[in-house]
Structure 1
Amino acid sequence: MQKAFAFLGLKKSSKPFKDYYSEWFNALKNVHLPQLRRAMLAATVSPAILSAHVDAMQRHFIAYYEALDLAALNDVAQALFPEWRNSLEKPFLWLGDLHPYLFTNLLRSFLEEDDDEGSGDEEEEDGRESRGENTGGQPWYLARAWRSPPRTLTARIDQIECGLRLMVPALAARARHAQAAFVDRVGREWGRCEGRSEDAKSAVEESVAAEMEELVDVFVDANRLRRSVLSDIVNATDVYQAALFLESLAQFLVGFKDKKFLAQCEKFKMPVT
């Protein structure tokens, strides 16, 4: 598809977004994630520093989605169909990037983990926490972060998920309609030209310009939804909960690039028959 856009003269010269993502990912893995983890372990000494690193991690994600918007405005094919994503990442993509359900499902995993914990060891854990000891390999304030969350938080999570159940199908329907309209219009214009290459190119260029605008709008709206869900989660949680959530999200992305794990998954691909 990208080659088709280049042929039609619609692709502007710019730095490939995969190069930007590589730089962004390296900063996530080698700078923001280690700094956040160090701040998490030292939060009893300076909660303000942890809050600053939570903000820095959130801004890093927001900056990525803002850059992705610009990439879509420049070349929506590069954004919607990222060929540079590996085989582990692609199943999690929706309209070019992570499905927003991933954010809420990750958030829910903390609540479910708390529900699964047995109550028999609570007194022992409470005793360790009162002495400032680690529980389950974590400092006590992190181990308690998701224990018995307030109703206001669970209600807010429900609201976020309800919004996603409304927005995701609507955006998916707009994308399907835009693509169908694009294919229909290009096909009709191509047929009318009866093989005349210059006439066909001119007609298809006009069709592409008319229909691609809607695809760009859909992609930008999907990105806005991702940013909104991420910000809503961070705003609804306290600094310890937000830190654990962002650490897990960052580690999830880092895991996609694990060469050993990727090689194992590639090894077990089902052959196409």
Structure 2
Amino acid sequence: MNKTISFYFGRVLLLGRTNVGKSTLLNKLMGKNISITSHKINTTYFNITGIYNYNNYQIEYIDTPGFINKNNIIHNLFINKKFDIILLVLDRNKWNNIEEKIIKIIKNISIPIIIIINKIDKIFNKTVLLPHINFIKNKISFIDLIMISAKNTLYISNIHNIIYKILPKKNHFFPKKYITNQSKELIISEIIRKYILKYIHNELPYVVKIKVKPFIINSEVLINNLIILLYVKRLSQKKILIGKNAKIINFIISKSQNEIENFLNKKITLKVWIKLK
């Protein structure tokens, strides 16, 4: 008689300050780049979801924007969606009012918390970690604590191993081939925004609106020419985005096209239009 196979599924929320490395961590957990990373603050504007499948385990990872004082991102997440596990990502031994505010929201929520101390590759005197861990223990209850370097892929697999042990026994929510619930258009716009962030060193990347013209028919990519509209508010912003002799926009197009082709597994021609709005 064949033994019945149990399936496990759970939603795992990544929380932490801006630039703590949540997007890098999500990409490493997924083994694919589905969330853009940058040294600039507030790179992630909205929740990015990654669907990780391993044998009879399925994990829905939700990468959140860095905690922003002016809004209720975390409050709204808990109101609108049920989570099974929280990954609280900390930057080495940094702790200030941002972490205090996050703790205040989640400390009384009956969801298992795993503490992730990231960027340990940048800590040269590891003795500072023990008192910091004791400090965290006095702040909040958690089921486990892991020290990692997301950038260098150090100890990432330990996170999966802990999550497997506490995932609810539940049927999988997504088809096995799903990687993310984000549309292809949204992922492409994120790729382009990543290179705008990289090549423009002021506040402009945060005001550029990106629109990808629909290019998918019956789930198949049938159009070779991919049309991208970049909206800015002022003519001066348009000039910055184009750059001298169109150098900046050509860099953005070239780099974006290569990554988009890898993502779609298809050769495309990227056409970018910059418009005032």
Higher normalized strand content (fraction of residues): 2
TM-score by length of 2: 0.21
Higher normalized helix content (fraction of residues): 1
Query: Which has the greater radius of gyration?
Result: 1
TM-score by length of 1: 0.21
